[in-house]
Structure 1
Amino acid sequence: MNYELNIEVLEDIEASIEELSKLLVKVVDDGAAVGFLPPMKQSFAREYWNSVLAPGVILFVAKINKHIVGSVQLHLCAKENGLHRADIAKLITDPNFRRRGLGRALMQKAEERAIQEGRSLLVLDTREGDPSNLLYQSLGFIEAGRIPYFAKSANGELHTTVLYYKSL
């Protein structure tokens, strides 16, 4: 399949909210551990996206043939003692486009922007056992620790989260 991948920064949600909402519902209903439980309502996804853009939050989207198929957020720490760091949040990719480098491309753009913003440390967390662990490790993130019973799944099972960091 031939496609053109572009990574963009979204500074306004309005024009993309329906597409972002459909993507979020799709990945949550597919089992992604990004803070929500399936089944996810479209209205709840829209409400979430309407709250994302805030000072210090940079939203990247991956587009294939002009359609949003992934996103990640860079949260710049605004605390006086944390101006050197940023959090990576909510890396999501459309299940139909996984294993094609979208997550890697999004992470690389977020890392480049973090450096431009004068950040020297990135931190993130993800569910133990998810494929994202392999991606983060391959990008040079180092495991800092694990928190058992951190997040609940739709069936009530409690999962461990893995904390990662990367010096830039």
Structure 2
Amino acid sequence: MTACVIRLDAPRLRAYETQLADLLVDAVDGGASLGFLAPLERAAAVAWWRERAEGVAAGRLAVWAARDGDRVVGTVGLAFPDKPNSRHRAELVKLLVHRDARGKGLGRTLLTAAERSAAALGVTLLHLDTETGSPAEHLYRAAGWAGAGTIPDYAADPAGVLRPTTLYYKHVTAG
């Protein structure tokens, strides 16, 4: 697979919202704990992505999409806090890779793009949460993210079962 990773501005996010929605539905159907319960209706996923365009336009959110040809096969985002004392950090959000595109390094490519962009923007600390024991944990650890702790019963998985969540962080620098 030859995926091209691009940062989406608000108009481009709106142009890709249905493909991003399909990606989100695929991830939830595949068991990824992303804040949604299964089955996730496509219309709800489209509406969720449509709402993200406002955050992108306002600079509160940055979103990247990985495209293989004309198809969106992955995405990642950075959410920027609005508090003056936290402008040095951002939260890594919604790192998704379509089930049929996994195992080819795309998750790592998206993660690296977000990390490098964060550093270029002057962000020095990234943080995220992910379901404890999920495949994503291996990716984050392999990419140098440090575990900060685990919270039991933090979020329901797509089937509605409460699962623990592990918090991770990583210092990034421009370079």
What TM-score results when the alignment is normalised by the length of structure 1?
0.95
Aligned to 1:26: 26
Instruction: Find the aligned partners of 2:153 and 2:145 in 1 and give their Cα distance.
Output: 22
Following TM superposition, the consecutive aligned residue runs of length 4 or more in structure 1 with deviations greater than 3 angstroms are none
Question: Does 2:42 align with 1:42?
Answer: yes
For the residue of structure 2 that corresponds to 1:77, the secondary structure is: coil
For 1:1-168, list aligned pairs within 5 A. Answer: 3-11=1-9, 12=11, 13-53=13-53, 54=55, 55=58, 56-168=60-172
**RMSD of aligned residue pairs (Cα, Å):** 1.1
The one-letter code matched in structure 1 to 2:140 is: Y
Q: Residues 8-41 of structure 1, C-alpha deviation per residue, up to 9 Å, x if partnerless?
A: 0111222111111111111111111111111010
Shift of 1:58: 0.4
- How much does 1:156 deviate? 3.6
Between the aligned partners of 1:160 and 1:110, the Cα distance in structure 2 is: 25
Q: Contact 2:64/2:75 (CA < 8 Å) preserved in 1?
A: yes
Name the CA shift for 1:37/1:90 in 2 (closer, same or farther; >3 Å). same
Number of residue pairs matched?
A: 166
Structure ranking higher in helix proportion: 2
Kindly provide the amino acid, as one letter, of the partner of residue 122 in structure 1: L
Partner amino acid for 1:19? Q
Q: Kindly tell me: are residues 96 and 79 of structure 1, through their superposed partners in 2, closer, same or farther at Cα, counting changes over 3 Å?
A: same
**Cα distance in 2 between the residues matched to 1:36 and 1:156:** 9
TM-score, L = length of structure 2 = 0.91
Greater RCO between the two (CA within 8 Å, min separation 6)?
Answer: 2
| 8 A contact 2:33–2:156 mirrored in 1 | no
Give 5+ residue unaligned stretches, structure 1. Answer: none
Cα distance per residue 1:79-131 (max 9 Å; x no partner): 11101101000111100010111110001000111011101000000001101
2: CA distance, partners of 1:68 / 1:164: 26
Instruction: Indicate conservation of the 8 Å contact 2:77/2:95, yes or no.
Output: yes
- Stretches of structure 2 that go unaligned for 5 or more consecutive residues are none
